[in-house]
């Protein structure tokens, strides 16, 4: 996750807490169910920006914008602003999209191919502060053919390219005259999507209203309020009190609503993992033996059972167990004896207090997690407990992202990442050495030549078998030379008033709350009769 998105998550949470503490932020929707045409949802963060030029909505499902393509309930690609899936040249280097006829931005101006070209060229411009531009590395040129066709030319065949065209399209006539990094479009967005941003009280709430001119038909849910509440417990309390219609909740809090006949619980599997970054600049975590020992010492199964109440899976790397790209031979159990042996062989000897020492350096480091995030707090404390059994002291501290961010190069962080779709989408930004310290990309400053080579091979190869071999190599290398301790893949759990039909969930990425959850398709909801 990038700096912007992580900070956004924390901020949105704070908004909900503030809003909920004062009053029901949505009016008639919450606290009585008088209307099924509006909904108030408690989330854990707010974005820094609503501009796709800076990364907002890059993985699809933005309520304000549409991409050329979108994903359905099963994550299959479907046409959105394009009238059909792209025509792909035999050499895999040219993708041609034909735009859907009659689509307009919410200000009434028509969508044209020039808007698509402007969006992609601006994202790829080095002057644009979009830390995700490496995901579009394969694009050599994007050009318009008339008003309704867009042609992408790639530098090399990139098999998952079509899935990157869920990127939201912005209107050139508004965003084109602004600095993409500082312009008003960042907080006053205009798109083609089913909803408009009608109001944003930063740190409190965001209000979305149905777009009456939406090309897919005006939504029946006319108003969505996202109340920003950072603290998980506060979010649950406000949901129980009726201030909210729904909320994103940790599993153990969601279970407290199990007997509530008026609410339903939704559970979505995800690629979202929790991991401890182990920065190489730190004099302790920079030692490969420490990193390998911590990987062996951690009890992932216990974390799933006790912290997630079973709503998740052990994480043996960045890819979940049920992903077709997962390398089965990297599954491993807790091995405290093995962890101690690794440290002994590397010269880390137990001190008088049981904490190991090498060359006068204690095996001790700080692990930070974002305040108010109970799931991360519990992971951090469990991790510290396991580490201590091997003779490593992990000092757990909570802080805001504003405090954590400047310390990420030296301090460990209980982080969250994970992207749906092709493995290239999440692994490249997480691990490639060229992105070390680039915002929240490669937070651990991981640098491994074999992993870099596997990432490049996986990105550029067209042969599925060769790609699978590359990602298998990468996963095995992360066991031998970990830059992170991967802990769990978590299920996302939501509780929502039972007043609508048409709710479903998708397999979700790390980033959720706005674009994911049962409201990923809120434009398709129908009030119950």
List, for residues 211-260, the tens digit of each pLDDT value: 999 999 999 999 999 999 988 899 999 999 999 999 999 888 999 998 89
Domain ranges of the chain: 1-46+202-268+493-529, 58-184, 273-490
Look over the chain and give the mean of its residue pLDDT values, rounded to a whole number: 91
Model confidence band, residue 513 (pLDDT cutoffs 50, 70, 90): low
pLDDT in tens, 52-63: 999 999 888 889
pLDDT in tens, 134-176: 899 999 999 999 999 999 999 999 999 999 999 999 999 999 9
Least-confidence region, from 23-37, 260-274, 321-335, 489-503 = 23-37
d(CA 190, CA 201): 18
Q: What architecture is domain 1-46+202-268+493-529?
A: 3-Layer(aba) Sandwich (3.40)
Q: What's 73's DSSP letter?
A: T
Out of 2.30.30.230, 3.30.470.30, 3.10.105.10, 3.90.1170.50, select the CATH number for domain 273-490.
Answer: 3.10.105.10
End-to-end CA distance of the chain: 40
Q: Which residues of 161-188 are buried (b: 16+ CB within 10 A; e: fewer)?
A: bbbbbbbbbbbbbbbeeeebeebebbee
Out of 2.102.10.10, 3.40.50.1000, 3.30.1490.190, 3.90.76.10, select the CATH number for domain 58-184.
Answer: 3.90.76.10
Residues sharing a CB contact under 8 Å with residue 311, sequence separation 6 or more, in sequence order: 251, 267, 490, 491, 493
Q: Which pTM does this prediction carry? A: 0.85
**pLDDT at position 23 over 60:** no
| DSSP string covering 465-504 | HHHHHHHHHHHHHHHHS-SEEEEEEEPEEEEEES-EE---
């Amino acid at each position: 996750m990038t700096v912007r998105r992580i900070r956004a998550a924390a901020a949105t949470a704070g908004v909900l807490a503030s809003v909920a503490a004062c009053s029901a932020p949505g009016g008639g929707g919450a606290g009585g169910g008088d209307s099924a045409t509006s909904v108030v949802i408690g989330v854990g963060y707010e974005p820094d920006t609503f501009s796709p030029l800076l990364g907002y909505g890059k993985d699809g499902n933005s309520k304000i914008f549409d991409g050329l393509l979108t994903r359905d309930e099963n994550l299959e690609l479907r046409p959105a602003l394009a009238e059909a899936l792209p025509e792909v040249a035999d050499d895999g280097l040219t993708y041609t999209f034909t735009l859907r006829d009659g689509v307009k931005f919410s200000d009434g101006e028509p969508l044209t191919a020039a808007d698509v070209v402007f969006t992609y060229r601006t994202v790829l411009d080095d002057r644009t502060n979009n830390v995700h531009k490496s995901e579009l590395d394969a694009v050599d040129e994007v050009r318009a053919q008339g008003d309704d066709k867009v042609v992408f030319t790639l530098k090399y065949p990139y098999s998952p390219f079509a899935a990157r065209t869920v990127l939201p399209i912005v209107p050139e006539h508004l965003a084109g005259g602004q600095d993409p990094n500082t312009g008003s479009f960042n907080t006053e967005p205009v798109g083609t999507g089913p909803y408009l941003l009608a109001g944003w009280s930063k740190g409190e709430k965001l209000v979305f209203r149905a777009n009456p001119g939406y090309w897919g038909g005006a939504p029946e849910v006319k108003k969505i309020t996202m109340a920003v509440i950072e603290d998980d417990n506060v979010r649950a309390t406000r949901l129980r009190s009726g201030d909210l219609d729904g909320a994103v909740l940790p599993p153990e809090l969601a279970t407290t609503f199990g007997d509530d006949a008026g609410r339903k619980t939704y559970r979505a599997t995800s690629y979202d993992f929790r991991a401890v970054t182990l920065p190489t600049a730190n004099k302790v975590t920079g030692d490969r033996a420490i990193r390998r020992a911590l990987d062996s010492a951690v009890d992932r199964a216990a974390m799933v059972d006790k912290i997630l109440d079973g709503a998740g899976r052990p994480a043996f790397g960045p890819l979940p167990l049920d992903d077709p790209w997962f390398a089965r031979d990297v599954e491993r159990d807790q091995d405290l004896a093995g962890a101690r042996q690794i440290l002994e062989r590397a010269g880390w000897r137990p001190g008088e207090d049981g904490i190991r020492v090498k060359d006068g350096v204690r095996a001790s480091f700080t692990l930070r997690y974002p305040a108010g995030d109970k799931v991360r707090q519990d992971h951090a404390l469990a991790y510290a407990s396991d580490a201590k059994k091997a003779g490593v002291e992990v000092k757990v501290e909570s802080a805001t992202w504003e405090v954590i961010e400047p310390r990420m190069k030296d301090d460990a962080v209980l982080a969250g990442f994970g992207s749906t779709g092709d493995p290239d989408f999440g692994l490249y930004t997480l691990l490639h050495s060229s992105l070390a310290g680039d915002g929240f990309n490669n937070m651990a400053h991981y640098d491994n030549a074999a992993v870099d080579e596997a990432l490049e091979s996986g990105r550029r190869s067209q042969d599925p078998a060769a790609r699978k071999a590359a990602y298998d190599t990468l996963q095995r290398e992360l066991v031998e030379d970990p830059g992170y301790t991967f802990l769990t893949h978590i299920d996302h759990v939501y509780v929502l008033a039972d007043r609508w039909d048409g709710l479903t969930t998708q397999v979700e990425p790390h980033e959720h709350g706005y674009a994911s959850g049962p409201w990923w398709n809120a434009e398709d909801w129908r009030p119950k009769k």
